[in-house]
Amino acid sequence: MDKRDVPVVILCGGMGTRLREASEKLPKPLVDIGGKPILWHVMKTYSHFGFRRFVLCLGYKSDLIRRYFLDYGEHQNDFTLNLASTEQPQWHGVKAEDWEITFVDTGLQSGTGARVKRVAQYLDQETFMLTYGDGIGAVDLDQLLANHAAGGRVGTVTGVHPASRYGEMHVEGDQVSEFNEKPTLATGWVSGGFFAFQRAMVDRYLDDDPGLLLEHEPLRSLASDGELTINPHEGFWMGMDTFRDWTELNQLWDAGEAPWKVWED
């Protein structure tokens, strides 16, 4: 499997209401860490491991995410602009990412499961990756794919250990036997996103119901059917869920101590 062909679905449609101080005027994926949107940090992580095809599930303030990438050169490169001339800007040291990005409006208030279902036509490989536009980590994505292949199941979820509010999993060996949206089991593992799925996930476990949340019935059913593998991640992972999270991530970046920065400048 050539990773360059594998679609990477990123959920970018939420409103980020608990991050209102930083996201009132922006969609949450555009809230910055070190001057770059957290979405950019997520994509740079995947790009470091050789993935280049991205499918963005858009919703709240989707026009701003589209515009950010349409104007990407202006955000990334130095340029000289002569206001008295009609000539185009003079670009300096042009940097370009080898990314193919598909932008899909999946509804303003759609659930995460419905959003994935609505990008089904762009998932043209047997395997696709999926993550959230507000969680970053030093996740070994090669290991994730290897564990997914070794597990031989429909889905694989990266398990992490933070004290958090995220979906907790009961794990037996390399199989997730139960998935709960809120932590109820004292197993120590919670969902950090960074999924790998077979196409069967979309065809068998998702539908177009606007209220369908990936973290509810689809993942619960996958686990109860014995079709969910865990990819254990012991390293850094953090979701940018609150203003406090945003502040902490920016402090790490500004101090040059961002453990999720696995790529070279």
Kindly report the number of other CB atoms within 10 A of residue 44's CB atom. 17
pTM of the model: 0.86
In angstroms, rounded to a whole number, what is the distance separating the alpha carbons of residues 18 and 187?
A: 27
Instruction: Give me the torsion for CA of 240, 246, 249, 253, rounded to 10°.
Output: 130
Beta strand pairing call for 228-232 and 155-160: parallel
Flag whether 82 is in a domain: no
Query: Given pLDDT bands bounded at 50, 70 and 90, which one contains residue 186?
Result: very low
What confidence score (pLDDT) does residue 185 get? Answer: 44
Flag whether 86 is in a domain: no
Query: Given pLDDT bands bounded at 50, 70 and 90, which one contains residue 100?
Result: very high
pLDDT at 165 over 60: no
Query: Given pLDDT bands bounded at 50, 70 and 90, which one contains residue 97?
Result: confident
Flag whether 265 is in a domain: no
Q: 21 or 109: which carries more pLDDT confidence?
A: 109
pLDDT at 167 over 80: no
Indicate the range of 115-129, 135-149, 151-165 predicted with least confidence.
Answer: 151-165
Report H helices in the chain: 20-23, 38-48, 62-70, 72-76, 112-117, 141-151, 200-205, 217-224, 243-254
Flag whether 62 is in a domain: yes
Average per-residue pLDDT for the chain: 87
Average pLDDT of span 137-154: 95
> How far, rounded to the nearest angstrom, does the alpha carbon of residue 3 sit from its chain's CA centroid?
16
> What's the CATH code of the domain at 207?
3.90.550.10
* 171: β partners: 176
Number of folded domains in the chain?
1
Flag whether 264 is in a domain: no
Domain that holds residue 207: 3-74+95-254
Average pLDDT of span 32-58: 95
Calculate the alpha carbon distances from 259 to 82, 90, 115, 230 in Å. Answer: 40, 35, 30, 22
**Backbone φ, ψ for residue 159 (5° rounding):** -95, 135
Flag whether 201 is in a domain: yes
In angstroms, rounded to a whole number, what is the distance separating the alpha carbons of residues 70 and 128?
A: 25
In angstroms, rounded to a whole number, what is the distance separating the alpha carbons of residues 22 and 26?
A: 8
